[in-house]
Structure 1
């Protein structure tokens, strides 16, 4: 069944580029993968599509891919099953489309000379390497196919029918069971019956939780940087940084650091566990040459970060010198980011309230996934909207981050303990109204219930109520899907 472009998510950002020199690459969320060489331009197209199909299979859904080759550029929708739909294709001026190979369904579009059609090439068995069905890039529409006599199809079809039957390669099969075995239920009454000896399948809720855990447990090639932003103070930025760091570190086991990228003095250090030293990001920057040296041991980074013993991530604090007036520059953000991405796979950045600050803007340049927290209060929601609008107006990378952002709406903490009955219902309704307002403009919106453990003092994952833990797991999974 065909899929319209609006129904296919725009993330991750996938590009397939074939150069004039006969090389090709596929980039997925900024990570480049070389395409196996081919003898023809069509071979390179098929090999590139095979990599995109593998990505679609991993995500278990269709993906969008921007394509560019010596003959033109456009956009495709690639399905996990290998079929490809053309969204657009614009040939380069003066260049003609390469005809489809004779072994493809579009063989009728063979290229024509000024006199007679080219001889029908011999049918060759499909190579085993590309897992995608060989087909033109993009599939030729009937109205754009080259002028060829319909009779040209007959010899090719006859040749295909007369081709000898060949045995399959042993490489194409396996006796191993590839489908994972569904583990029995562990939660609720189903889990109780399982423990009593009656094997029960998990509920939809438990399956959903397992999928979120699987998502946040992944490892990605290369480091990933998350920026948590909102121009308004009190929007829950620091608790969001702590919770995302705790969940991603706990489940993935990846080295994770939470970095307070405030212009001067931030609050991340106040809400997390302090180590046996007072060092901050400025000390790390001063020691960057040593830390980036190939001879430096990986454990040396512990001199500058504060380890969270329960939640298994590290914190890089902002400068807390009350007499200091140093503001972090864009160049210093580059240095600190280079150091941290050498020692950590995940970098989660807290931020200040000034989108015009040099360190704020440079943080965005390094960001792979944007997270916008907001409490269910009008001015916080409006500040979040303006933050996204600012990034969108800048275009390019900033605008793409805004479109693929994850908005996390936390129920208001104002006088929450005294709320009962209608007042509590109104607070929850306001949170839902704000969440619904962001829904059409970003990739995902997640709601977080009120939890007193997030209001004051150091934040610990285990101190949260089960419903809050589950909500934050869903939020972390939504963020991880953007990697």
Structure 2
């Protein structure tokens, strides 16, 4: 049974604006998304509607969109399957004709007569009924001879041309490079000797710029490895912290374990005990147009230092509920209404319904692995499983980011040989994944990631820098 236009919610408010200057934007709930340029206004309209279809697919329901362009304005219903229905439309041409006063003889503008020479006599206008005089007859008619100089000048003089203002720009200066702030170059800058940043500092600035972006529409990251102890939960926490800190975008870390996960144990607890099951039970209220954004705080646990929220899995020891695929859809719909970025922790069963539905919603796949053989093999099998399914799953596997962390066991022994073996093993595993995925990033050992709640500021500087590079690699996939 289809959905009638009256049943389609007006939330979120969506506007598609196409301008005659060749620009367009789609505004969703007050957030503007620039529409990719095209060769024509129709290309802009098509690109704008593609963004609206993406919003409908994210919400998994039809959406209303107010359209505004040089030819008219109106309202459409856009469905996730690209079906588009017109609710209303008013042409600007029709409206101008309706509003224009009737033309009277007094308001008719006089005709403009163009001449090619100021010296040539102006011929008398012929009546409309008079047939044109044949050339042979005209040549025989008496009259003043034509002025050859004036005729020749009129033919040879080229018409004036103008270049488009789009072809030029007065903004030709390169952006000013900010002086160094790190290392000895930064020290000299603070002493009054301006120094350019090093290559390392420029690389860090580029990573910061990458993770600070805002992307059109929500983005979902899935962190997966079918083997426990592969560093999934610390990866979720670190990616969420860095993306939230630098971009300022509303970010949530979601423990999508089919039963009980550990994300809640490694993060800060709020003033309540609610979990994903409570959010699913309240989804109707949370998706209501009358519900304000602050209501989501009843169900998530805010990380006061790292600026992201956590949606915990069910931690009831007596509970036996397993999250279904339908419940993943509901929770994802709620979270993408309130958050720009969703980072999903996962269980260890790639065949579970909630695990597979998580993949359906994923924009970027992240596969963490510690530098231990069985963890690496589990990561390989996880990627192989997705690749064998084809389509969206295989594309995620090919564009995955693999994050290799050094083994904690070797670090605890503090043996020089053990430390070298750990680094060598991490390098071997990283190189082994490189031909099969988009990016591989290595993370050094850090005791702040081993036990207890994880805080970004507690990490060593080298570890912070490594995780920034990992987050930039993830953001590159958006």
With normalisation by structure 1, the TM-score equals: 0.67
Deviations 1:270-321 (A, max 9, x none): 0000000000000000000000000001000000000000000000000000
Partner of 1:360: 355
**Paired residue for 1:396?**
391
Q: Distance in 2 between matches of 1:299 and 1:338?
A: 16
* Residue equivalent to 2:448: 453
Paired position in structure 2 for 1:230: 225
2:410·2:422 contact (CA, 8 Å) conserved in 1?
no
Gaps of 5+ in 1: 1-30, 52-161
The answer for the alignment partner of 1:195 in structure 2 is 190
What residue in structure 1 maps to residue 476 of structure 2?
Answer: 481
TM-superposed deviation, 1:417? 2.6
Give the corresponding residue for 1:462: 457
Please give the alpha-carbon distance, in whole angstroms, between the structure 2 residues aligned to 1:450 and 1:343.
34
CA distance in 1, matches of 2:326, 2:231: 27
TM-aligned CA deviation for residue 176 of structure 1? 3.5
Alignment partner, residue 439 of structure 1:
434
CA distance in structure 2 between the partners assigned to 1:293 and 1:177 by the alignment:
49
What's the CA shift for 1:35? 6.7
The DSSP-based 3-state class of the residue aligned with 1:207 is helix
Tell me the equivalent position of 1:318.
Answer: 313
Deviation of 1:165 after TM superposition, in Å, equals: 7.7
Deviation of 1:167 after TM superposition, in Å, equals: 3.2
User: What is the Cα deviation at residue 423 of structure 1?
Assistant: 1.9
Q: What is the aligned partner in structure 1 of residue 175 from structure 2? A: 180
Tell me the distance in 2 between the aligned counterparts of 1:163 and 1:313. Answer: 66
Alignment partner of 2:288 out of 287, 290, 293 = 293
Q: Which residue of 1 aligns with 2:417?
A: 422
In the TM superposition, 1:85-124 aligns within 5 A as none
Q: Equivalent residue of 1:218, what SS? A: coil
| Contact persistence 2:241–2:308 (CA under 8 A) | yes
Whether the 8 Å CA contact 2:251–2:308 is kept in 1: the answer is yes
Deviations along 1:40-73, one digit per CA (max 9) or x if unpaired, are xxx96xx89x99xxxxxxxxxxxxxxxxxxxxxx
| Superposed displacement of residue 416, structure 1 | 1.1
Following the alignment from structure 1 to structure 2, what is the Cα–Cα distance between the partners of residues 32 and 398? 28
Structure 1 segment 245-284 matched on structure 2, within 5 A: 245-284=240-279
Partner residue in 2 for 1:375: 370
**Any idea what the Cα deviations from partners look like across 1:101-155, whole Å, max 9, x if unmatched?**
xxxxxxxxxxxxxxxxxxxxxxxxxxxxxxxxxxxxxxxxxxxxxxxxxxxxxxx
The alignment status of 1:336 with 2:336, answered yes or no, reads no
Deviations 1:308-352 (A, max 9, x none): 000000000000000000000000000000000000000000000
Gaps of 5+ in 2: 1-32, 49-156
Structure number with larger C-alpha Rg: 2
Aligned length: 339
CA gap 1:380/1:163 in 2 versus in 1, 3 angstroms? farther
Alpha-carbon distance in 2 for matches of 1:426, 1:179: 47
What is the Cα deviation at residue 206 of structure 1? 0.1
For residue 113 of structure 2, what is the aligned residue in structure 1?
none
- State yes or no: 1:220 paired with 2:205: no
Spell out the pairing of 1:73-92 with structure 2 (5 A cutoff).
none
Provide the rounded CA distance (Å) in 2 between the counterparts of 1:258 and 1:469. Answer: 19
Query: Residue in 2 aligned with 1:115?
Result: none
